[in-house]
Amino acid sequence: MVTFLAAIALLLLGYMFYGKLVERTFKINPTSKTPAYTQEDGLDYVPMPWWKGWLIQLLNIAGLGPIFGALMGALYGPVAFIWIVVGCIFGGAVHDYFSGMLSLRHNGEQYPSLVGRYLGKNMKFIINVVSLVLMILVAAAFTAGPAQLIAQVTPLSFGTALIIIFAYFLLATILPVNQVIGKIYPLFGAILIFMAVAIAGALLFIDKPIPNITLSNLHPQDLPIWPLLMVTVSCGAISGFHCTQSPIVARTLKNERDGRKVFYGAMIGEGIIALIWAAAGMTFFNGTEGLQAAIAAGGPAGVVNEISTSLLGKLGGILAILGVIILPITTGDTALRSSRMILSEMVGANEQTNWKQALLYSIPVSLPALYLSTIDYSFLWRYVGWSNQLVAAVTLWTATVYCLRNGKFHWICGIPALFMTGVVSTYIFYAPEGLKLSYQLSMIIGSIITLAVTFWYIYQIRSHQQQTLETKTAA
């Protein structure tokens, strides 16, 4: 229990102190007009209060990620607590803050355009494709699960449930952000927060001890912690999907000083939710062996339902059903909204002032997502994980180059960027959905790639130092 409470305290302290350092590194300008005013169009650029932006951002980035991912990560034991805390404070929250604030500084630009600004046109093209694929996969994966549960608890068929969900997706994608998302997300956010707080409170009073920290790998199948844990627990620690969502809220912020509360703060909130569910999984089932058996029997959704119902009674059961249905939907809808914005920006059609124009760019991304939602959910999710963390690494490198060019403390982004480069470089060679090489060989190849990127980083540092020196000498 001490470890669990200390981990939550560290996340809060991280927001108060490290978050402030990140903000100072970026150097906000509270007097400048934000895109919500300078680009106001009544569709995507709409001024909204920061608390509403925080709730929207939390639901955009969370969904079931910090619940299902945390439960799967809990199979490694309390070492998952370390990754959630460290990853969230020094990686995920930094990633989310810079992706949101860079978008805000560049008139609400989408992630691929920001990559193009700082990493070049070739990388922009690659990331445009990767981002659209990731958005479509996320929308499909986060539709299949809710549709299956709706079919189980209602008279509706799976196909009918899919059509209903996608009809909502289209509405949320093409209507002004303040008409659907801005109105219902605060309610859904309250459900997510209440569910997590209620579970945390119940854990403190049940007759089972919350495990304390250990560096041991307790995974029942003896899967290696590095790099699998860093991909398994993405939402709650660091997730590339978040950078595709940040521009949605960046286009609504009234002041740059709200950035730390909305972007860094929402990530800390997601980290706390992930901690709660990781602790619940380890505690309720008496360790990782019991949790593994529960996941095998009913999947992550069944585990959520069992924990919620047992700890919170009928209310818990209702919350579990609402959570498993609503929360992924609130991620799927904004995934399609982001993909609509990315696609229109990619073809140079940023000006969309009505729902008909928005619909034109929504259909090409909605139809593939609808088709993919009919295939095996686990297959989809395997490919979401690596592409998600690849996007996270590229985002951090984008922020690093931004800091270098502007004479800021670049290490605050560069160190987590190197770490995530090592994660994705090793994972793709070892993972079942990758090349399936031996662990030792994958580690060697991943290390070589990371070392090569490190040399590139050093070259960039020296290059910018030389440019700065030449500029000073010329002056």
Print pLDDT tens along the chain (475 aa).
788 999 999 999 999 999 999 999 999 999 999 999 999 988 889 999 999 999 889 988 877 778 888 999 999 999 999 999 999 999 999 999 999 999 999 999 988 889 999 999 888 888 888 888 888 887 887 777 778 778 877 888 888 988 898 888 888 888 887 777 788 877 777 777 888 888 899 998 888 888 888 888 999 999 999 999 999 999 899 999 899 889 999 999 999 999 999 999 999 999 999 999 999 999 999 999 999 999 898 878 788 888 888 888 887 777 777 777 777 787 788 888 888 888 887 777 655 556 677 777 788 888 888 888 777 655 666 677 888 899 999 999 999 999 999 999 999 999 999 999 999 999 999 998 888 999 999 999 999 999 999 999 999 999 888 887 777 776 5
- How far apart (Å, rounded) are the C-alpha atoms in residues 450 and 442? 12
430 belongs to a structural domain? no
47 belongs to a structural domain? yes
> pTM of the entire structure?
0.90
Nearest of 126, 86, 131, 101 to residue 402 by alpha carbon: 101
Long-range contacts of 145-150 (CB under 8 A, 24+ apart): 145/64, 145/301, 145/324, 145/328, 145/377, 146/324, 146/325, 146/326, 146/328, 146/329, 147/373, 148/377, 149/301, 149/321, 149/324, 149/325, 150/325
Largest pairwise CA distance in the chain: 76
Nearest of 194, 226, 178 to residue 76 by alpha carbon: 226
Number of structural domains the chain divides into: 1
- What are the structure tokens assigned to 378, written together? 């686990």
Judge whether 426 and 446 are in contact, CB under 8 Å: yes
Strands (E), 76-171: none
In this structure, how many other beta carbons lie within 10 angstroms of the beta carbon of residue 37?
12
Q: CATH no. for residue 169?
A: 1.20.1740
Judge whether 31 and 239 are in contact, CB under 8 Å: no
Nearest of 44, 47, 39, 170 to residue 105 by alpha carbon: 39
- What are the structure tokens assigned to 36, written together? 């919500």
Long-range contacts of 341-347 (CB under 8 A, 24+ apart): 341/44, 341/110, 341/247, 341/248, 342/110, 342/111, 342/112, 342/128, 342/131, 342/132, 342/135, 342/244, 343/132, 345/109, 345/110, 345/112, 345/113, 346/112, 346/128
- HSE-CB at 451 with a 13 A cutoff on CA atoms is 6
137 belongs to a structural domain? yes
Judge whether 270 and 62 are in contact, CB under 8 Å: yes
Strands (E), 330-464: none
468 belongs to a structural domain? no
Judge whether 267 and 88 are in contact, CB under 8 Å: yes
Work out the end-to-end distance of the chain between its first and last CA atoms, rounded to an integer number of angstroms.
Answer: 60
- How far apart (Å, rounded) are the C-alpha atoms in residues 451 and 455? 6
Can you give the pLDDT at residue 315? Answer: 78
SS3 169: helix
112 belongs to a structural domain? yes
Range of the domain at 232: 2-377
